[in-house]
């Protein structure tokens, strides 16, 4: 069975960084991962250290603009599926898909409907799927993938950050979304605010599954523009994400 | 059954993908060449079960390499005819995916195949095994195939040579499918995807009418309904023909009634004025009646300026969407312009007076030659006055309607409502719920009467929500 994990949270809290480190952990073990960057800004490839030219959005646009030029009786789902495969970056032990280009003004009902079917089938080929969403795009990722096992909210140390997690919990209820579990990871934590975060999380009845400290090595790599995927094993962030993965039974 | 093969064969493996890590070879695909083709041939032209390979076999290919592949199946049988080629060919995709360790994507000249390392390890070492398994599946699952012979080509030059011939076959086939019309089929397809936001909208997709969003043609409906008959796209039995020209069928009416919760109970697929198709808001193009010239203009999503009636796409789209039958506006997909039944009930292209230049260019070759220059664009006209002058100057067939109207007008003068001041563009709104009893043109303008507009209502039962009449300046 494929485990589908989506990562969300406020802007700049570290969604992409944690996603990359989870992928790093999983591929070092012997899991085959599908990484999906659902943020139209597309940061995950860089953080993982791979290059991507085109995304699902471009292929969806291709289907929209080319549909009248295709032979009338071709199977569009099968063409679309192949186009999605074309933009899949195949890396050792993981494949990466970026969403990229958002919807334009036309009608996307049919294209998105095909896409959901294609993704349903594709997802089954992997042990774990990690979706990095943009802030506030919980709906968006659900448009392409119907069922999510774990939704992880990344928060910084602020009460506001944790409130975001609370709000997302409400949202899931309202949407009657197929999200099985909701977890919170505190990121860029300092010794000063660590206990306070735990306290607030308890108060809000949120399941805090880890606290990642501010990591000097990440800051250094940020400055040099190096991918986080190659962080050494003794980075504090790598270690804590490892603990989190074990708690998630990944 | 499949004991002779070193792999398992089952629909269970259909969604199985071969990742780059686990791939032994890649065949055709975006970085190489290839195609698949099914040809119907005579019974004595082929030898059943025969397989020929031109080029290197799987065992001669290096791990991780990429090669072209052409797959040609020649099939025969009493019931086999060229019309079936496309349907049979489509199954190659299914059958090859049934083979564990073989991934087949796409179709025709875009096929993309991978064989997994695992499959090779388990003994898959020749294309003959793949071909034999595929032939077996063809004969088992499509019993009308009595004989089948297969040729695979992995030699680039040979494959390219055969591709040329294949392209010719595809072309002939496409011409045939383009010639499929409403009267040739017993089922249409419906789509209710957009009912989530337009609860009474029902899209009816026929060979001569693509969905208004432009995404779903009759073949797409057929493909989707076959995979999931309960899904958003489903079959509609045509039933009795009620109006062949307007495109009214009892089966469509029945379905319209139930799916719209009784909101409306008649649809004429090729009619603009009478029981028009509903619009959910997804349409690529909206048609709008221009009473002043008794013609129809069309404006697409990409045109941001205003149409000659003074309204932009967005305003008219707002009026048209929502899944209701709105007389005076109609949402369509661009491909509907290419249909020989394009608003047939209302005079087809002869009724069209205006389109944005870009849209017109897109469908230029599909506009009848004698009318193409008579349809104005934003480059020719900007408002109703200049549109009228343009139509007169070009002797647009719409002028004939004006003459008719004038003649009738004299006879029915007492019914005419005189001298309503010229409606400023767009300020005179169409009655929201006009019920036209028979008459095609609900309103007509007396040609050439300068500033004044005469509105003539013939045999009309009209209930009007709102008419805004403004004084002319
Ligand atoms: N534990 C950490 N220690 C130090 N720096 C970190 C840590 N986690 C993330 N960062 C840095 O913080 C910045 C923001 O992180 P990241 O891009 O992952 O956030 P995000 O939530 O994905 O942002 P966005 O909302 O823009 O997508 C990056 O420069 C990242 O390298
Ligand atoms: S507009 Fe397109 S997607 Fe929407 S209901 Fe009609 S056919 Fe279906
Ligand atoms: Mg990010």
* Average model confidence (pLDDT) across chain B: 87
Report the pLDDT averaged over residues A233-241: 97
d(CA B150, CA B49): 7
Q: Give the tens place of pLDDT for each residue, B383-427.
A: 999 999 999 999 999 999 998 777 766 665 544 444 433 333 333
On whether both B150 and B267 belong to a single domain, the answer is no
Q: What is the pLDDT of residue B429?
A: 41
**pLDDT at position A132 over 50:** yes
Residue B6 lies in a domain: no
Question: Percent of chain A having pLDDT more than 90?
Answer: 68
Q: Judge if B324 and B375 occupy the same domain.
A: yes
Q: What is the pLDDT of residues B337-387, one digit of tens each?
A: 999 999 999 999 999 999 999 999 999 999 999 999 999 999 999 999 999
Q: Last residue of a domain, which of B381, B396, B411?
A: B396
Contact A224, A231 (CB under 8 A): no
On the 0-12 / 13-18 / 19+ scale of CB atoms within 10 A, A127 is middle
* CB B193 within 8 Å of CB A110: yes
Query: Whole-number mean pLDDT of chain A?
Result: 91
Calculate how close chain B gets to A71, using CA atoms only, in Å: 6
CA–centroid distance, B79 to ligand 1, in Å, is 65
What is the set of domains in chain A, with CATH numbers?
3-247 (3.40.50.300)
Q: Is the pLDDT at B335 greater than 90, yes or no?
A: yes
What is the total count of domains within chain B? 3
Q: What is the pLDDT of residue B324?
A: 85
Closest CA to ligand 2's atom 1 = B213
pLDDT of B79-94, one tens digit each?
A: 999 988 998 999 999 9
Which of A159, A171, A160 lies closest to A6 in space, CA to CA? A171
Is any Cβ of chain B less than 8 angstroms from the Cβ of A69? no
Kindly state whether residues B378 and B243 are assigned to the same domain: yes
Judged against a pLDDT cut of 90, whether residue A144 lies above it is answered with: no
Among A147-156, B355-364, B443-452, the range of highest mean pLDDT: B355-364
| A-B contacts at Cβ under 8 angstroms | 91
Which candidate, B60, B89, B279, B76, places its Cα nearest to that of B173? B89
- Asked if pLDDT for residue B439 goes beyond 50, the answer is no
Q: Which residue of B has its CA nearest to A107?
A: B282
- Tell me the torsion sign for CA atoms B112, B117, B118, B122: positive
Residue B1 lies in a domain: no
Chain A within 8 Å of B283 (Cβ-Cβ)? yes
Higher pLDDT, A204 or B36: B36
Q: Which of the listed residues B174, B198, B229 is the one where a domain comes to its end?
A: B174
Identify the burial level of B24 via C-beta atoms within 10 angstroms of its C-beta, where 0-12 means exposed, 13-18 middle and 19 or more buried: buried
What pLDDT does residue B304 have? 92
Cβ of A216 closer than 6 Å to ligand 1, yes or no, is no
* Angle (nearest 5°) at CA B35 between B33 and B39: 155
Residue A159: pLDDT band with limits 50, 70, 90: confident
Check CB contact of A175 with chain B, cutoff 8 Å. no
pLDDT of residue B471: 52
CATH number of the domain within which B118 lies: 3.30.1650.10
CA distance A231 to chain B (A): 23
- Does residue B101 sit in the same domain as residue B140? yes
Give pLDDT, residue B444. 38
* CB contact B419 to A (< 8 Å): no
Q: Is the pLDDT of residue A97 over 50?
A: yes
What is the pLDDT, as a whole number, of residue B130? 98
Q: What pLDDT is stored for residue B406 in this prediction?
A: 72
Inside any domain, residue B5: no
Last residue of a domain, one of B114, B141, B174: B174
Q: How confident is the model at residue B369, as a pLDDT?
A: 96
* Residue B473 included in any domain: no
- Which pLDDT band holds residue B466 (cuts at 50, 70, 90)? low
Domain assignment present for B2: no
Q: Does one domain contain both B94 and B203?
A: no
Assembly ipTM:
0.92
Write out pLDDT tens, residues B246-295.
999 999 999 999 988 888 999 999 999 999 999 888 899 999 999 999 99
Task: Tell how strand A128-132 and strand A94-98 pair up.
Answer: unpaired
Is residue B4 assigned to a domain?
Answer: no
Cα dihedral B295, B300, B304, B305 in deg (nearest 10) = -10
Least CB–CB distance from B15: residue in A67, A110, A121: A121
Confidence category of residue B432, pLDDT binned at 50, 70, 90: very low
Q: Rounded to the nearest whole angstrom, what is the distance from the C-alpha of residue B190 to the centroid of ligand 2? A: 9
Q: Is B191 in the pocket of ligand 2 (CB under 6 A)?
A: yes
Q: Do B313 and B465 touch, CB atoms closer than 8 A?
A: no
**Could A79 and B110 be called an inter-chain contact, meaning their C-beta atoms sit closer than 8 Å?**
yes
Res B448 pLDDT > 60: no
Q: So what's the pLDDT on residue B190?
A: 95
How would residue A166 be classed by pLDDT, with cut points 50, 70 and 90?
confident
Q: By mean pLDDT, which of B2-11, B177-186, B442-451 is the weakest?
A: B442-451
Q: Is position B132 within any domain?
A: yes
Which protein residues have their CB within 5 A of the ion that is ligand 3?
A 15-16, 43
| Parent domain of B60 | 11-174
Within this chain, do residues B236 and B381 fall inside the same structural domain, yes or no?
yes
- B323 and B437 co-located in one domain: no
Q: How confident is the model at residue B437 (pLDDT cuts 50, 70, 90)?
A: very low
For ligand 2, say whether the CB of B280 is within 6 Å of any of its atoms. Answer: yes
> Exposure pattern of B65-89 as b/e (b: 16+ CB <10 Å)?
eebbbbbbbbbbbeebeeebbbebb
The two tokens of residue A223 are: 């400055």
Same domain, B281 and B388: yes
Q: In this structure, are B55 and B146 located in the same domain?
A: yes
Beta bridge partners of B461: B435
Q: Read off the CATH number of the domain in which B308 is found.
A: 3.40.970.20
Asked if B335 lies within 8 A of A68 by C-beta distance, the reply is: yes
**Structural domain includes residue B444:** yes
Residue B442 pLDDT greater than 70, yes or no: no
Read off the pLDDT of each residue in B141-155 and give the average, rounded to a whole number.
Answer: 97
Share of chain B above pLDDT 70, in %: 85
In this predicted structure, the answer to whether residue A150 has a pLDDT above a threshold of 90 is: yes
Asked if the C-beta of B109 comes within 8 angstroms of chain A's C-beta atoms, the answer is: no
The answer on B170 and B47 residing in a single domain is: yes
**Residue B433's pLDDT band (cuts 50, 70, 90):** very low
Determine the pLDDT at residue B465: 55
What number is the average pLDDT over the span A167-174? 78
Q: Is the pLDDT assigned to residue B320 strictly greater than 80?
A: yes
Residues B273 and B380 in one domain: yes
pTM of the predicted structure, to 2 decimals: 0.85
Q: Is the pLDDT of residue B428 over 60?
A: no
* B163/B68 same-domain check: yes
Give me the percent of chain B exceeding a pLDDT of 90. Answer: 73
pLDDT value for B421: 36
Q: Half-sphere exposure of B413 toward its Cβ, with a 13 Å CA cutoff? A: 3
Judged against a pLDDT cut of 60, whether residue B308 lies above it is answered with yes
**Joined tokens for residue B286:** 């909206």
Greater model confidence, B463 or B182: B182
């Amino acid at each position: 069975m494929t485990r589908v994990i989506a990562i969300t949270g406020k802007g700049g809290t570290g969604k992409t960084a944690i996603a990359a480190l989870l992928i790093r952990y999983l591929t070092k073990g012997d899991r085959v991962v599908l990484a999906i960057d659902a943020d139209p800004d597309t940061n995950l490839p860089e953080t993982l250290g791979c290059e991507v030219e085109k995304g699902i959005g471009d292929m969806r646009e291709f289907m929209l603009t080319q549909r009248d030029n295709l032979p009338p009786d071709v199977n569009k789902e099968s063409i679309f599926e192949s186009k999605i495969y074309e933009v899949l970056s195949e890396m050792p032990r993981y494949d990466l898909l970026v969403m990229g280009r958002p919807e334009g003004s036309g009608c996307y009902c049919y294209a998105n409907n095909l896409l959901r079917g294609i993704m349903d089938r594709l997802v089954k080929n992997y042990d774990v799927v990690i979706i990095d969403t943009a802030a506030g795009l919980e709906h968006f990722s659900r448009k392409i993938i119907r069922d999510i096992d774990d939704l992880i909210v990344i928060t910084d140390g602020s009460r506001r950050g944790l409130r975001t997690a609370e709000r997302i919990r409400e949202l899931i209820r309202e949407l009657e979304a197929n999200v099985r579990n909701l977890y919170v990871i505190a990121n860029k934590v300092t010794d000063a605010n660590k206990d306070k975060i735990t306290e607030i999380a308890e108060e809000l009845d949120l399941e805090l599954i880890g606290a990642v400290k501010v990591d000097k090595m990440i800051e250094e790599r940020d400055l040099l523009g190096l991918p986080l995927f190659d962080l050494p094993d003794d980075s504090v962030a790598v270690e804590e994400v490892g603990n989190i993965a074990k708690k998630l039974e990944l | 059954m499949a004991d002779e093969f070193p792999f398992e064969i089952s629909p269970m493996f259909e969604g199985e993908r071969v990742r780059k890590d686990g791939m032994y070879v890649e065949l055709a695909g975006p970085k190489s060449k290839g195609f698949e083709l099914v040809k119907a041939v005579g019974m004595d032209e082929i030898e059943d079960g025969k397989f020929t390979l031109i080029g290197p076999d799987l065992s001669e290919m290096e791990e991780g390499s990429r090669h072209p592949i052409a797959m040609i199946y020649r099939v025969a049988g009493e019931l086999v005819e060229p019309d079936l080629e496309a349907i049979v060919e489509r199954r190659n995709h299914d059958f090859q995916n049934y083979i564990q360790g073989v991934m087949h994507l796409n179709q025709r000249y875009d096929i993309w195949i991978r064989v997994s390392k695992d499959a090779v390890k388990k003994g898959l070492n020749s294309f003959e095994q793949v071909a034999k398994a595929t032939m077996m599946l063809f004969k088992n699952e499509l019993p009308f195939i009595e004989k089948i012979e297969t040729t695979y080509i992995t030699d680039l030059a040979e494959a390219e040579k055969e591709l040329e011939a294949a392209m010719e076959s595809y072309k002939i086939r496409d011409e045939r499918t383009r010639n499929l019309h409403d009267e040739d089929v017993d089922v249409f397809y419906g789509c209710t995807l957009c009912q989530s936001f337009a609860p009474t909208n029902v899209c009816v997709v026929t060979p001569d009418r693509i969905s208004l969003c432009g995404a779903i043609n009759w073949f797409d409906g057929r493909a989707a309904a076959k995979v999931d008959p309960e899904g958003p796209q489903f079959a509609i039995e045509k039933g009795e023909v009620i109006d062949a020209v307007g495109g009214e069928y009892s089966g469509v009416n029945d379905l319209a009634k139930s799916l719209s919760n009784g909101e409306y109970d008649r649809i004429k697929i090729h009619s603009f004025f009478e029981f028009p198709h509903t619009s959910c808001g997804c349409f690529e193009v909206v048609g709008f009646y221009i009473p002043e010239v008794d013609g129809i203009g069309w404006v697409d999503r990409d045109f941001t300026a205003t149409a000659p009636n003074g309204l932009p796409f967005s305003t008219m789209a707002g009026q048209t969407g929502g899944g209701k039958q709105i007389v005076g506006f109609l949402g369509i997909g661009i491909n509907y312009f290419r249909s020989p039944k394009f608003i047939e009930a209302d005079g087809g292209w002869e009724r069209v007076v205006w389109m944005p230049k870009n849209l017109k260019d897109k469908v230029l070759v599909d506009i009848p030659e004698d009318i193409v220059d008579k349809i104005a664009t934003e480059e020719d006209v900007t408002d109703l006055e200049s549109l009228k002058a343009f139509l007169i100057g070009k002797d647009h067939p719409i002028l004939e309607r004006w003459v008719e109207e004038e003649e009738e007008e004299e006879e029915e003068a007492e019914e005419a409502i005189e001298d309503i001041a010229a409606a400023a563009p767009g300020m005179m709104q169409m009655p929201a719920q006009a019920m036209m009893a028979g008459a095609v043109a609900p309103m007509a303008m007396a040609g050439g009467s300068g500033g004044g507009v005469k509105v003539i209502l013939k045999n009309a039962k009209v209930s009007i929500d709102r008419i805004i009449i403004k004084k002319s300046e």
